[in-house]
Structure 1
Amino acid sequence: MFAAAVAAAQPARCLPPFLPPPPRGRLVVIGAGKASAEMARVVEGHWARPLSGLVVTRYGYEVSCQRIEIATAAHPVPDENGLNAARRMLELVSGLTADDTVLCLISGGGSALLPLPLEGLTLADKQAINRALLASGATISEMNCVRRHLSAIKGGRLAAACYPARVVTLLISDVPGDHPVDIASGPSVADPTSCADALAIVERYGVVLPAAARRLLESGEGESVKPGDPRLANSSCHFIATPALALEAAAKLAREAGFAVFNLGDSLEGEARDMGKVMAGIVRNVALNQQPFPSPCILLSGGEATVTVRGDGRGGRNVEFLLSLGVALDGLAGVWAMAGDTDGVDGQEEIAGALLTPDSLQRAWARGIRPRAALDANDAHGFFGALGDSVITGPTLTNVNDFRAILIGAAG
């Protein structure tokens, strides 16, 4: 099911129908995200006319392209390579004409991969802010709101730099609700949020900002490009893959195998351990009382959980959800689960996720591993790795957020 979800969001499968018609002038391809290099390769394979461009992807996610340059940079904390790629991307789209078209390939991860600070900020400032946001428990939408208002390229600024060329943005969504402005912090779309909104988020989570960053937000100097800006009048965006599409592909596979599937949606958010507890309550009711669904069945869900880091473990929102679920189920018979990130990286680990079985806790205790202690230390990766139950896929070349599937066996 996880493989089916990932396959449904592969650029080769979903991108070609959205290619724009050939322009009178140049076609310039730009982009950022974990899927952007593969998206670029698909564009090259389906475009016989001249083109040029630059996309930046995460280390290890690069693919071979002939006409589009593939740059690599760090994720989730930005680095110098990402900074240089962002500068060069802005230079690449300067001086275009109304006869030219810019094809912007955007997927999740682009926020960290295009770290171009506003004047007065440094890359070190951006790195510190990113680390603080990642550890704060803020949602992805909230984190991206802050990032947009401290960036010289996000929040519509990249599209504005392309003016007067036509801009066509192709999006692979990794965010709940599929809001274009939240995917890679919206470099090519208008931003309806404000500096005041970003400042409120910083205050809400107690994120300590460098003095220059706070000044940009308090003064309004970090304001992004707003809806109705004439520089974006010739700009459009299209979703080519979404979490909902991926979940439906997984559901189809399960139904064909004879299972009843209940899709809880692609917008579940919140603390990963809290989500695990809530889902455990639902699972128990299904398994023991046949409510709200009869068993056997599969519960599917997506979205993006968050982890407020308090321990010294290896983190990972999918595995933390899964360990919390397992602790709350306490070895309930007949329940198996899998949670993973469709990009192949859960948190900062080169591990997609993990598997939970009815005897996971028993096997951990037999090895001297305390499940609750691992959860308290934010070390679910260490827990499942010790059991041999990590799911390692390598780069999937796409990114449609989290995947969670729980199989509940027959009653009794």
Structure 2
Amino acid sequence: MRTAHPLLTRLFDAALKAADPFDLIAPHLPPPPKGRTVVLGAGKAAARMAEAVERHWQGELSGLVVTRYGHGAATRHIEVVEAGHPLPDEAGETAARRMLALASDLGPDDLVICLMSGGGSALLSLPAPGIGFDEKRAINKALLRSGAPIGEMNCVRRHLSSIKGGRLALACHPARVVTLVVSDVPGDDPAVVASGPTVPDGSTGEDALAILDKYGINASGAVRAVLADPALAAPRPIDPRLAQNSVHVIVTAQQSLEAAAQVARAAGYTPVILSSSLEGEAREVALVHAAIARQVLQYGQPAARPCVILSGGETSVTVRGQGRGGRNAEFLLALAVALDGLPGVHAIAADTDGIDGTEDNAGAWLAPDTLPTAHTLGLDARTRLADNDGYGFFSTLGQLIVTGPTRTNVNDFRAIVIDS
């Protein structure tokens, strides 16, 4: 059985361990309030974060968090419900309504601890008044296929929502809200993570409409009316009702990359972290990584062999084919084509949440013999890439990475190992 370069697995394991929020929450928990403590949250890390709060909290608490199907946890005081991702479903809508109901009963002596992580945008889906659930779901699906970066997708989601863009924090007023964030977005802006249910931002409905127009996504009259209605606008950052609230980003992609870099050094490889916030089409980002690998081999720049090139962030895929994709599988397939069996170069690309897009794998791995092996099996890499079928390509080769749900999410992790 063919296996990945052993260092690739160790690098990814280190990245996942560094992204686990369980041991990172305690230092950010506020003192218990005079009144009640309610925990609300959404995202792929929400259940793991709820476990951590229960472990470290001194005093009574209750609450509700929503996570993706299969990403739950056994908690005692905080209810965990599961819902659809990346496409919203009724379970997520119901959870959002229940959270708003819990928030509406709070007073000035109460505390809300909000646990937000990537995936919360789909999991906490409650359309703005006048927009049907099916219509918002269709817009979400179109955005996912458009190649739009996560910041633009979440701008639209915020302005078509009754709970995102700071609206949940408004519902909690006059209670104090402390938000703890596991960031899956380039730049780690908490207003973008899960579309910021407790964090207002400076964007407008006009901005959201411009994004829909940019990608040719149909906006009905009802959608345009919502985006133009000042009464439905999200709160602004200067809203006095949010003044006592605070936000803490506790886990980032940079932490995972630095942990992987430590593993590389210990193994005798020079680590080079390109960026924790790369965006763009997965296949185009792959071309850049391939060019850097060739530069290392030919000129010893930006590091001499042996070295490891590391990067994070969130790429996108403009879907044109019919294959089973995943942006990490697409990146790696494009990298394989660009490297064309370059000796001594091994790579991994995987999503830290354990799910690459909508598939059952976290990502895949690549070796110098990947393309020759594919050729013997009748697989044409370029044809599969044109069909957005990275999953099918690496599945046939036995080169998928399957972790199951990790219950965290700092987005893509990429490593290219270049041996001496």
Task: Normalising by structure 1, report the TM-score.
Answer: 0.98
What is residue 15 of structure 2 aligned with on the other side? 5
Out of 18, 43, 57, the residue aligned to residue 67 of structure 2 is: 57
Contact 1:32 1:184 in 2 (8 A): yes
After superposition, what is the alpha-carbon deviation per residue over 1:25-71, rounded to whole angstroms, capped at 9, x for unaligned?
A: 00000000000011001111112311110000000001001111111
Is it true that 1:346 corresponds to 2:356 in the alignment? yes
Letter of the aligned partner of 2:31 in structure 1? P
- Whole-Å separation in 2 of the counterparts to 1:220 and 1:243: 36
Deviation at 1:220, TM superposition (A): 4.6
- Whole-Å separation in 2 of the counterparts to 1:150 and 1:91: 19
What is residue 197 of structure 1 aligned with on the other side? 207
- Whole-Å separation in 2 of the counterparts to 1:75 and 1:179: 21
Q: Percent identity?
A: 58
Is it true that 1:286 corresponds to 2:291 in the alignment? no
Is it true that 1:391 corresponds to 2:389 in the alignment? no
Out of 1, 26, 47, the residue aligned to residue 37 of structure 1 is: 47
Letter of the aligned partner of 1:284 in structure 2? R
DSSP-derived class of the 1:128 partner? helix
Contact 1:150 1:222 in 2 (8 A): no
What is residue 273 of structure 1 aligned with on the other side? 283
What is residue 102 of structure 2 aligned with on the other side? 92
What is residue 128 of structure 1 aligned with on the other side? 138
- Whole-Å separation in 1 of the counterparts to 2:405 and 2:231: 38
DSSP-derived class of the 1:12 partner? coil
- Whole-Å separation in 1 of the counterparts to 2:347 and 2:335: 9
Out of 360, 384, 390, the residue aligned to residue 380 of structure 1 is: 390
Is it true that 1:105 corresponds to 2:86 in the alignment? no
Out of 216, 234, 238, the residue aligned to residue 248 of structure 2 is: 238
What is residue 248 of structure 1 aligned with on the other side? 258
Contact 2:270 2:303 in 1 (8 A): no
What is residue 80 of structure 1 aligned with on the other side? 90
After superposition, what is the alpha-carbon deviation per residue over 1:106-144, rounded to whole angstroms, capped at 9, x for unaligned?
A: 000000001100111111011101100000010000000
What is residue 323 of structure 1 aligned with on the other side? 333
Matched residue pairs, number? Answer: 410
What is residue 408 of structure 1 aligned with on the other side? 418
Residue segments in structure 2 that go unaligned for 5+ positions in a row? 1-10
Deviation at 1:386, TM superposition (A): 0.5
What is residue 268 of structure 2 aligned with on the other side? 258
After superposition, what is the alpha-carbon deviation per residue over 1:331-385, rounded to whole angstroms, capped at 9, x for unaligned?
A: 1111000000000001101210000000101111100010001100000011001
Out of 205, 208, 224, the residue aligned to residue 234 of structure 2 is: 224
Contact 2:269 2:305 in 1 (8 A): no
Task: Normalising by structure 2, report the TM-score.
Answer: 0.96
What is residue 213 of structure 1 aligned with on the other side? 223
Deviation at 1:279, TM superposition (A): 1.2
What is residue 24 of structure 2 aligned with on the other side? 14
DSSP-derived class of the 1:255 partner? helix
Contact 1:244 1:266 in 2 (8 A): yes
- Whole-Å separation in 1 of the counterparts to 2:312 and 2:86: 20
Runs of 4+ in 1 over 2 A off after TM superposition: 218-222
Letter of the aligned partner of 1:344 in structure 2? G
Residue segments in structure 1 that go unaligned for 5+ positions in a row? none
Deviation at 1:225, TM superposition (A): 1.2
Letter of the aligned partner of 1:65 in structure 2? T
Higher mean C-alpha displacement, 107-116 vs 225-234: 225-234
Letter of the aligned partner of 2:42 in structure 1? A
Contact 1:132 1:208 in 2 (8 A): no
After superposition, what is the alpha-carbon deviation per residue over 1:204-256, rounded to whole angstroms, capped at 9, x for unaligned?
A: 11112233112222445542111110111111000110000111011111111
What is residue 365 of structure 2 aligned with on the other side? 355
Letter of the aligned partner of 2:388 in structure 1? N
Letter of the aligned partner of 1:379 in structure 2? D
- Whole-Å separation in 2 of the counterparts to 1:351 and 1:223: 38
Contact 1:286 1:292 in 2 (8 A): yes
- Whole-Å separation in 2 of the counterparts to 1:315 and 1:17: 39
Deviation at 1:16, TM superposition (A): 1.2
Contact 2:35 2:111 in 1 (8 A): yes
Contact 1:199 1:218 in 2 (8 A): no
Letter of the aligned partner of 1:307 in structure 2? V
Closer, same or farther in 2 for the Cα pair 1:203/1:222, shift >3 Å? farther
Deviation at 1:293, TM superposition (A): 2.3
Contact 2:326 2:356 in 1 (8 A): yes
- Whole-Å separation in 1 of the counterparts to 2:353 and 2:411: 7
What is residue 137 of structure 1 aligned with on the other side? 147
Is it true that 1:332 corresponds to 2:318 in the alignment? no
Contact 2:41 2:65 in 1 (8 A): yes
Out of 66, 77, 80, the residue aligned to residue 67 of structure 1 is: 77
Contact 2:268 2:306 in 1 (8 A): no
Deviation at 1:193, TM superposition (A): 0.5
DSSP-derived class of the 1:177 partner? coil
DSSP-derived class of the 1:13 partner? coil
Instruction: State the superposition RMSD in angstroms.
Output: 1.0
- Whole-Å separation in 1 of the counterparts to 2:133 and 2:72: 23
Contact 1:343 1:396 in 2 (8 A): yes
DSSP-derived class of the 2:312 partner? strand
- Whole-Å separation in 2 of the counterparts to 1:76 and 1:221: 29
Deviation at 1:96, TM superposition (A): 0.9
Letter of the aligned partner of 1:305 in structure 2? T
- Whole-Å separation in 2 of the counterparts to 1:318 and 1:208: 28
Higher mean C-alpha displacement, 79-88 vs 313-322: 313-322
- Whole-Å separation in 1 of the counterparts to 2:14 and 2:91: 33
